[in-house]
Chain A
Amino acid sequence: MFPAILPYLMLALPLSAAVASLLLRDRRVGAMAYVCAAASAVSAAMWSVVVLLHGTQTYSWDTSSVWSSYAITLDPLGALVLLISSLTFACVALYSLFSREGVTVRGAVLFNLFMLSVMLAMVADHVLLLLVAWESMSLTSFLGAWGDREDQDTSAGWRYLAVTHFGAALLIAAFSFLAITSGEVRLSAMLGLSGSLGPAVSALVILMVFLGFGSKLGLLPFHIWMPDLYGRAHSTITSLLSTAASNVAVLVLVRTVFGYVGVGQQQVLALTIMGLAALTALWGAWQALMQAEGSRVLAYSSMENMGLILLTIGAAMLFQSYGAGEPAAFALMAAMFHLVNHTVFKALLLMGAGTVRRATGEGSMERLGGLARTMPGLSAVFLVGVLSVAALPPFNGFVSEWAMFKSLMHAELISDPLVQLALPLAIAVMALCTAIAAAAYLRLYGFTFLGRPRSAGACRPRPMAFSELFPFIPLALLCLLLGVASFPLLRELAASVSPLVGIPGVQVVEGSSISLLHQGGLDPLGLSALLAGGVLLCYLAMRALGPRRLVRGDTWDCGTPLDRRTQYTPTGFSQPLLKVFTKVYAPVTEVREDPRPSPYIRGVRFEQRLPEVFLERFYLPLSAAAIALAMRVKRMQSGSIQAYLAYIMITLIVLLVVLR
């Protein structure tokens, strides 16, 4: 039977492609490896569809070893995430294949391995497989991001590894708790363990899982690696890391918290998680607004989006802990939907940012501008991505953000005053994040594509072949499709998250309209039709007034010819908001007078720097303290043999006297 080989294809293709290109070290093989990756992604998508049609499928391989049998399983929830992720994978594979600077063997190998580990992590039904896939994701993404660069500075990459390894250690601890409590290594055999774990330990486990996965999602304070990685690494890697890796993290997090452990009565924990997620989202939005590089904006934007998703998941936990299953299911559905949407538009945006950087040779928005005229195709698809990420109708980000907002509006179902204060606050945070992040995306688009070019590279970007643009198109279409006609997907999502909250079937979609408990719903299809109709009407009305006569002229310049320096800069653009939130950013300003030979001309230099608070106030002191402590310990290895012998003697005497 054909569908039975799909999972094998999905896993074997990238593995064999990676091994083949590693052994043969030929660029053509590397190119073939990307094709294999795309094929594997397609088979993953097909498998997901099969699972969505026929229900959960499990494959297991018996080993006589300590790990009993390895198994992979795909449930409908996983299938939905895998479906969208694999479509994105296929696009990114094509993007890498067609990219101008060509295919490198190393890139192809790492791409395939990374994709393999992501897919494996999504379907893993075994503790070891999950942990292996998870760590291999970190390692391959790290190698992909840093390995091919010649720069001396590996500290940023090291930060990434260290932080994710810390997260992995927490996950290892958490899953080891689960495994010893259930006596199982199969994940699907774990169900509702909170009863046997006890409230304190299950809270600990949930927190560890949350922080562990959070380390990849950029949860505060684990986000420090994100901007540097996104700023430096190739967009192939970042576009997968931000999307597929996040999908894995959230998917397994949801499965663990709601399925394996079960929420129980963890109200305080849920509120804590919501608080942390809210801070993450806010911090991400604030920082996204101030970054000069497009890829760094997108890094913080990932942080913001993941913060919102985790906030909604936290709300779902809160509802669940009070026994309100329906809103919990709705919140989970909203979060998962935003997750898949984020996959689509973030991959599009990161690929776009990478293309811009390579076409112009400029990474900073301070030196870009005007690309909409020279790269119209890219500017159009990028606009779709920006509108999606800014949650504007009729694109997908809008629908999922609407649903997330809506899910927080069920405070009246729970009579606890704490919750009734917390949920409105969550809404306030979400609203603030959305607004600030929208400003950041606007700035990203406006200063990259609009206005006049700010550097020579931006004046004459390398032209883009259609094959380069092609991988963007399915993603852009998907952004629109998921925004306009997402109701079948939402219906599936709602059905697949409802077992997690213990409710047989939550009805959230009626016709094409989404709502819960009849509290006002959204009909994305209708709204989009109205929008399209409005625009069409305007167009027809204007046509009726006669053809447009268009004259090109100079920009209004008040009589002073405009040059590069008269244009608004991205820094200037965000300056008012910097002033508003000056307490948050705590900018370090330095005004220096330049010594000049002439007494009549005064030169003044103004410098403003936004400190990376978490790095400078938390991590650097922490590591400095650790090193200082280690240096003190190091003194014990003084080189004196007498001292060494004294250690032995003292140890011995102390032990004998104390324990005799």
Chain B
Amino acid sequence: MLSIDTINFLAAAILLVSLLVMASTRMGQLVRSFALQSIMLAAVAAVLAHQTGSDHIYLVAALTLVVKGVAIPRFLTYSVDRLKVRREIEPLVGIPASLLISGGLVIVAYYVTEPLISSAEAVTRNCLAISLSVVFIGMFMMISRRKAITQMVGLLMMENGLFLGIISTTYGMPLIVEIGIFFDVFMAVLIMGIFAYRINRSFETLDTTFMRRLRG
């Protein structure tokens, strides 16, 4: 039972960190918060692996730690420095409003998952709702922030939420799928980084609100 409490505790912490990401005003803070979330996710995976004793979830935990907790944040920090992105976040929706909306999204997520939870195990309950909340918050992050980099972070947050869902509801997918997903996520971030670099070159900014030539 200890581990279930731990998982629930960690999941709640992940949700809180998502709100922290939402509340960040500086790029560095944002990336660090994201890294923290990924590390917590790795921790959840590790606890779960311990509980179920399945090896491949350990692998998942390790991969999460390495890829999302270390590699991607470093890559993002490097990109921010390299592309000389302005440090400020420049939200389209102000921080207080963003937090309120995020709270609303959490409620929605709980409301939506409510009928599902009845049939699920105890671990799943909170985690599913939280994972959906994190997905929503990540998506809202992409909607409410201007920079290409913040959009990437939003997407990564969505994927974190997803991972929480994967490991908590199903105790991990088949290994090949898991690895494939990791590979894809990594590639996606890399490719987005390449495009961010190209966009910076042709638009001389990473502010996506300037990219409105294609319309109608």
Contact = CB atoms under 8 A, between A and B. Distances in A.
8 contacts: A639-B213, A640-B209, A641-B151, A641-B208, A645-B142, A645-B143, A649-B143, A653-B136
B38 interface: no
A497 B24 CA distance: 84
Given A657-B108, A657-B112, A638 B212 contact: yes
Contact of B144 (A638, A642, A648, A653): A642
Interface in B45-88: none
Interface residues of A, number: 15
B139 interface: yes
Contacts of B140: 649
B27 to A, nearest CB: 18
Given A640-B209, A642-B208, A660-B112, A649 B139 contact: yes
A655 to B, nearest CB: 10
Given A645-B139, A645-B142, A649-B139, A639 B214 contact: yes
Interface string B145-166: 0100001000000000000000
A396 B78 CA distance: 92
Interface in B161-216: 208-209, 211-216
Interface string A390-431: 000000000000000000000000000000000000000000
A638 B215 contact: yes
Contacts of B211: 639, 641
A649 B108 CA distance: 12
Nearest to A646: B143
Contacts of B143: 642, 645-646, 649
Given A637-B215, A657-B108, A642 B92 contact: yes
B9 interface: no
Contacts of B214: 639
Contacts of A656: 108, 112
| Majority secondary structure, A binding face | helix
Given A645-B139, A656-B108, 13 more contacts: A639-B212, A640-B212, A641-B211, A642-B92, A642-B143, A642-B144, A642-B209, A646-B143, A648-B139, A653-B136, A656-B112, A657-B108, A660-B112
B96 interface: no
B118 to A, nearest CB: 12
Contact of B142 (A634, A638, A642, A653): A642
A657 B111 contact: yes
Nearest to B213: A639
A635 to B, nearest CB: 8
Dominant SS among interface residues on chain B? helix
A649 B211 CA distance: 20
A645 B148 CA distance: 13
A660 B139 contact: no
Contacts of A657: 108, 111-112
Contacts of A645: 139, 142-143
A653 B108 contact: yes
A638 B214 CA distance: 8
Nearest to B115: A660
A656 B216 CA distance: 29
Interface of A: 634, 637-642, 645-646, 648-649, 653, 656-657, 660
A639 B215 contact: yes
B19 to A, nearest CB: 17
Interface string B102-128: 000100100110110000000000000
Nearest to B116: A660
Contacts of A646: 143
A62 B115 CA distance: 56
B48 to A, nearest CB: 26
Contacts of B208: 641-642
Given A637-B215, A640-B212, A649 B115 contact: no
Nearest to A631: B216
A638 B209 CA distance: 11
Contacts of B215: 637-639
Most B Cβ at <10 Å: residue of A634, A637, A639: A639
A648 B154 CA distance: 15
Nearest to B146: A642
A656 B128 CA distance: 14
B134 to A, nearest CB: 14
A198 B42 CA distance: 66
Contacts of B146: 642
Interface centre among B111, B112, B140, B209, by most chain A C-beta atoms within 10 angstroms, is B112
Contacts of A639: 211-215
B107 to A, nearest CB: 11
A327 B62 CA distance: 91
B150 to A, nearest CB: 11
Nearest to A640: B212
B177 to A, nearest CB: 23
Nearest to B104: A653
